[in-house]
Every structure is written in C-alpha cells, then in structure tokens.
C-alpha cells in the first residue's frame, strides 16, 4: 500500500474488472442441457399425467424459462433446450404453442411431445385442427405421447373423431414426416371412426395406412372396455417395420383394463407380434379357456413379458406340448392371489400364481428364463409388517421363499416390487409386491410462482379434483350459455393470449442493451 493512502482509500478504490469465463457455445449448451434435465426421470412414469405447480413438468418448464432470462446469449443457446420436450394439458396451451412455433420457426426444435387433454365437445374442431398442425410443424419429433381424456363428470365423452389414431388417419399424408421420425408413441384408443353411427367418416379409404418407419415402442391406453375395439385400427392401419415393444393398458390413474373378449388383442399381435421383444398386457379378464401359450405363439421373439396372472391361465408343461420359447428372459406377473383387506391379509387358494411358478420351472419350454418379478396394484407401498398381522406375513413369506428356492435351483430369480431377491437368504421384513402404477401426485398451486404457460388458469390446479375448475364452473352454472355449451376458453388463440404466451416463454428481463452488456 502506498504510504500516502489511507485504509479508507484502499477499501474504496475499485478493483480492476475480472475477466469472465467465456465457454464456447457448444460446451455451454451441454452444461445447460445437463442442468435442465435434472427435474425429469422419464424412466419412472409419464410426466404429462401430472398437473400442478409441484409436478415434474412444471419444475422442468420453470427451470428452463429461468435459463432463457439470464442474458441474450443464454437465451439464444438455451432455446433448443426449452422446446426439446413440451407438455400440454389444455387446448389453450396447444393453440398458442402452435402459433408460437409458426411465428418463430421453432418446430424442428421439438423432439418430445407429451399431452393429456380434456376435450370438451364445443372445442373438438379446434382440437383436431391444431393437433394436426402441431404434428406438421414438429417433423423431427421422436416421442409423441398424446392422450385425449375421454370423459369427465358432468361432461359428455369425447367423440371418436378426436382419438389419436382417427385424426392421424385424417391428416395423413401431411404428417408423414413426423410419423417417420417417431421412435415412441403413446395413444388413447377409441371406437374406429367408420363404425361410429353418430358421425361422418373423414377417412375415405378403410385400408388407409399409417407408416411409422422408425417406431420402436407403442403404448395403447383404453379408459373404457369398449375402446379396446380401437386396436382393430392398429392392426389394420399401422405399418411398423421396427416395432419392438407393445403395451396395452388402462390409464395410469385407473385400475386394470377389464375386457370380456380379447379378440382385438389377438388381432394386433397377429399383425405386429412376430417382431416384438417386449409385451405388457394390463388386462383383467377371467376365463379358464384362455392360455398364455396362445400369446407366446404369436410373439416368438419375446424377451420380456408382463401380464396379469388372472387374465390368461398358465399351462402345465408336463401335460401340454407347447414351445419352446427360447428368447423369453423375464416374466413380470401382476398377481391376484395375494389379496389384502383393511385388517386382514389372506393367501387365496386359487393356485393361479402356483401354476405360473410350475410352468416357469420347465427348462424345456423356457430355456432362457432367468427372472420372475411380482407386482400387485392393490397392495400399499409399505412394508408388510406395518399393516399385516405377523401370522399372515409369515405364511406369505414362507410360501414365496419356498417357491423362490425351487426356482433358484433352476437358475431363476424371484424378485419383489423393489427388485430385491425373495428367498430364505433375503430380508424377511420387506414388501414382496406393490403398486404397479404410481398414483397421481398431490396438486397444489402457488399464485406467486410463474410456472406454466401464460394462459393457464390457476384455479385449474386447486382443489382435490384434477379438473376441479371444470367442476366448479359446471356446478355454479355461470359458464353455461343458453344453448347449453360451456363458455370456456373464449379467448383461446386471441392476439392477447399469444402475446402473453410469448412473453412467458421467451421474455428476458431487461432490454437488448442490458443483455449485450452482460456478455461483453
């Protein structure tokens, strides 16, 4: 310090500006992308089923919007991260997103599309128009998980025209590029449009085909047993040369898909089963005449098979000549004969699970099988000893551990819901089964947070119902017009709404000069 300088002068003297670390754009993009992906674990469940500020998709959007607001350079670099994966829950979001993609030319940035929308009858035309336009714009999409909610309390069910397969058939070939790029597809099933007596067909040729050149994974949801009939369109209209994984299930927030006749399941396996390596059937259909061998015969390359033990019976390899099925490695059973009540826990004596164990022990039929895993929707995700009487706990554990020991002698491991080994050597105080699908997360709203697209109604997220805003409007009667059509989303697609959307997505606090100064 200079002798003439005082301590005060030394403190007040500004230090020379430090040089900022300037990462190359490519490295900064990788850093931002890594940080942005911390909120989603897509291996656990479909994030678009969650609605509310605490959901994974809201946290994801909040974080990515924050990246864009740091400075101009970050906004330019992080824009592809924001649009890479999109989540939609309402038609209003769909409309303004399409207009934003059209104005900004950002359609090619969208690679993953997730949507679970409630479509009210007055808005079916808007819905069909804009979902088709979204697919036309996003011609590089790799994931399309799109489910129309088919009904709601006090609201008429959605028409067949709005089902995913039907509007795809109507839009082809304008969406050919998007279909060609898809690797993963989740759709809601509905009646085939040609068989809907109340609507006119928009598909001129019953033999129209949808070609998915690179599709590897297909999931079909049916919220009503009658909608399983929609599998007939998948059988006749889908061309999927690369399909490896097929799932047929109920929506995540519902129980098993109950059907009386699985003929449409057999039809779709007859068309697409020969190439499958993974098959998951979430069916409830008790019929003693149906055997699992009829499914295995249609899927000769199957490596992983998930099925309810009470939908198709197991076969006795000693009395029936079937197989072999040399590729099957993993069998996942949604079991029914381990049942729970509020204060009692009983092991049913219907032998369904025992028959499956006996079948699996045959090395002649299943030479490559190495894992059996047990799941059960009805059981809570808590250790058995927290609610189950010790006597019942011991009985069940004794039964399962004895079967596990026999299976282990044949090189087959029996697992519980956590993926832990069941056996005399395993932890006795452990759950052996649990929920197949996680329940929807609790929803709540925080008015102080800017979490979703600008048109979102915060009242939508409040209350105990996932769609409580619809409930309140219908119960109050204030949104019903004279002709009975609800006046909902009257400002959808307006200039004001589009401007609000753009501001919420790409707004950066501060003007251009401030942004440029930050990166200099």
The pLDDT tens digits for 89-132 are 888 889 999 998 998 888 998 999 988 887 877 888 888 899 99
Q: Residue 335: pLDDT above 60?
A: yes
Say if CB 412 and CB 405 are below 8 A apart: no
The residue with greater pLDDT, 288 or 308, is 308
The beta strand positions in 256-367, using DSSP E, are 257-258, 278-281, 283-284, 304-308, 330-334, 338-340, 345-347
The CA-based diameter of the chain, rounded to the nearest angstrom, is 105
Residue 268's pLDDT is 93
Going by pLDDT thresholds of 50, 70 and 90, the confidence category of residue 33 is: confident
Q: What is the mean pLDDT of residues 437-457?
A: 35
Say if CB 422 and CB 372 are below 8 A apart: no
Could you tell me the residue ranges of all domains in the chain?
314-321+333-364+381-435
Calculate what percentage of the chain has a pLDDT beyond 90. Answer: 20
Q: What's the rounded Cα separation, in Å, for the pair 264 and 278? A: 18
Helix residue spans in 85-163 (DSSP H): 91-104, 124-137
The residue with greater pLDDT, 324 or 49, is 324
Instruction: Work out the burial of residue 148: count CB atoms within 10 Å of its CB; fewer than 13 is exposed, 13-18 middle, 19 or more buried.
Output: buried
Calculate what percentage of the chain has a pLDDT beyond 70. Answer: 57
Say if CB 237 and CB 169 are below 8 A apart: yes
Give the other-Cβ count within 10 Å of 114's Cβ: 21
Q: Residue 248: pLDDT above 50?
A: yes
Q: What's the rounded Cα separation, in Å, for the pair 459 and 444? A: 10
The residue with greater pLDDT, 241 or 456, is 241
Strands 257-258 and 371-375: unpaired
Residue 289's pLDDT is 64
Q: What is the mean pLDDT of residues 240-266?
A: 83
Going by pLDDT thresholds of 50, 70 and 90, the confidence category of residue 164 is: confident
Query: 234 to each of 158, 188, 208, 238, 272, how far by Cα in Å?
Result: 20, 11, 11, 5, 9
Q: Residue 345: pLDDT above 70?
A: no
Give Cα 50 distance to the centre of its chain.
10
Q: Which of 500, 502, 489, 437 is nearest to 460 (CA)?
A: 489
What length does the chain have? Answer: 520
- What number of CA atoms fall less than 13 Å from residue 505's CA on the CB side? 24
Going by pLDDT thresholds of 50, 70 and 90, the confidence category of residue 450 is: very low
The residue with greater pLDDT, 254 or 226, is 226
Q: Residue 329: pLDDT above 90?
A: yes
Residue 513's pLDDT is 44
Q: Residue 426: pLDDT above 60?
A: no
Mean of per-residue pLDDT scores for the chain: 70
The residue with greater pLDDT, 419 or 7, is 419
Secondary structure class of 376 (helix, strand, coil): coil
Going by pLDDT thresholds of 50, 70 and 90, the confidence category of residue 218 is: very high
Give the other-Cβ count within 10 Å of 69's Cβ: 15
The residue with greater pLDDT, 210 or 10, is 210
Q: Residue 487: pLDDT above 90?
A: no
Residue 182's pLDDT is 94
Residue 301's pLDDT is 95
Q: Residue 45: pLDDT above 60?
A: no
Q: What's the rounded Cα separation, in Å, for the pair 418 and 434? A: 8
Bond before 281 cis per omega within 30 degrees:
no
DSSP 196-245: -TTS----S-TT--EE-TT--EEEEE-SSGGGGGGHHHHHHHEE-TT--E
Q: Name which of 48-57, 73-82, 231-240, 427-436 the model is least confident about.
A: 427-436
Q: What's the rounded Cα separation, in Å, for the pair 42 and 44? A: 5
Q: What's the rounded Cα separation, in Å, for the pair 56 and 46? A: 10
Say if CB 124 and CB 156 are below 8 A apart: no
């Amino acid at each position: 310090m200079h002798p003439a300088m005082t301590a005060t002068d030394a403190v007040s003297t500004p230090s020379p500006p430090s040089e900022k670390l300037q990462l190359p754009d490519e490295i900064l993009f990788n850093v931002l992308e890594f940080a942005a992906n911390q909120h989603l674990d897509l291996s656990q469940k479909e994030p678009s089923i969650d609605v509310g500020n605490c959901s994974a998709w809201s946290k994801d959007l909040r974080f990515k919007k924050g990246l864009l607001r740091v400075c101009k350079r970050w906004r330019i670099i992080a824009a592809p991260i924001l649009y890479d994966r999109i989540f939609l829950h309402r038609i209003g979001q769909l409309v303004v997103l399409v207009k934003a993609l059209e104005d900004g030319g950002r359609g090619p940035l969208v690679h993953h599309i997730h949507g679970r929308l409630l479509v009210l009858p007055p808005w079916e035309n808007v819905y069909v128009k804009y979902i088709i336009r979204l697919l036309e714009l996003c011609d590089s999409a790799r994931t399309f998980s799109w489910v129309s909610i088919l009904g709601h309390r006090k609201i008429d069910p959605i028409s067949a025209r709005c089902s995913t397969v039907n509007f795809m058939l109507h839009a082809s070939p304008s969406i050919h590029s998007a279909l060609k790029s898809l690797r993963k597809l989740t759709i809601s099933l509905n009646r085939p449009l040609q068989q809907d007596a109340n609507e006119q067909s928009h598909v001129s040729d019953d033999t129209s085909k949808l070609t998915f050149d690179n599709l590897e994974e297909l999931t079909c949801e049916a919220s009503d047993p009658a909608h399983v009939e929609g599998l007939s369109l998948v059988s006749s209209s889908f061309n999927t040369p690369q399909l490896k994984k097929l799932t047929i299930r109920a929506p995540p927030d519902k129980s098993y898909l109950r059907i009386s006749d699985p003929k449409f399941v057999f039809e779709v396996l007859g068309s697409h089963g020969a190439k499958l390596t993974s098959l998951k059937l979430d069916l409830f259909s008790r019929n003693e005449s149906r055997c699992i061998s009829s499914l295995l015969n249609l899927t000769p390359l199957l490596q992983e098979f998930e099925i309810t033990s009470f939908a198709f019976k197991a076969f006795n390899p000693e009395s029936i000549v079937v197989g072999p099925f040399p590729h099957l490695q993993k069998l996942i059973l949604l079991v029914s004969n381990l049942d729970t009540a509020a204060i009692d826990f009983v092991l049913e004596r219907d032998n369904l699970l025992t028959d499956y164990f006996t079948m699996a022990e045959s090395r002649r039929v299943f030479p490559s099988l190495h894992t059996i895993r047990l799941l059960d929707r009805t059981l809570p995700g808590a250790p058995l000893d927290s609610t189950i009487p010790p006597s019942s706990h011991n009985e069940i554990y004794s039964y399962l551990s004895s079967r596990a020991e026999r299976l282990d002698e044949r090189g087959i491991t029996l697992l519980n819901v956590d993926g832990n080994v069941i056996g005399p050597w395993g932890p006795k105080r452990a759950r052996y089964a649990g929920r197949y699908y996680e329940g929807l997360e609790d929803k709540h709203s925080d008015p102080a947070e800017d979490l979703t697209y600008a048109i979102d109604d915060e009242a939508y997220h409040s209350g105990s119902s996932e769609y409580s805003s619809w409930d309140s409007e219908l119960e109050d009667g204030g949104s019903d017009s004279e002709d009975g059509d609800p006046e909902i989303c009257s400002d959808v697609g307006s200039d004001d709404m589009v401007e609000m959307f753009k501001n919420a997505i790409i707004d950066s606090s501060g003007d251009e000069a401030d942004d440029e100064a930050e990166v200099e």
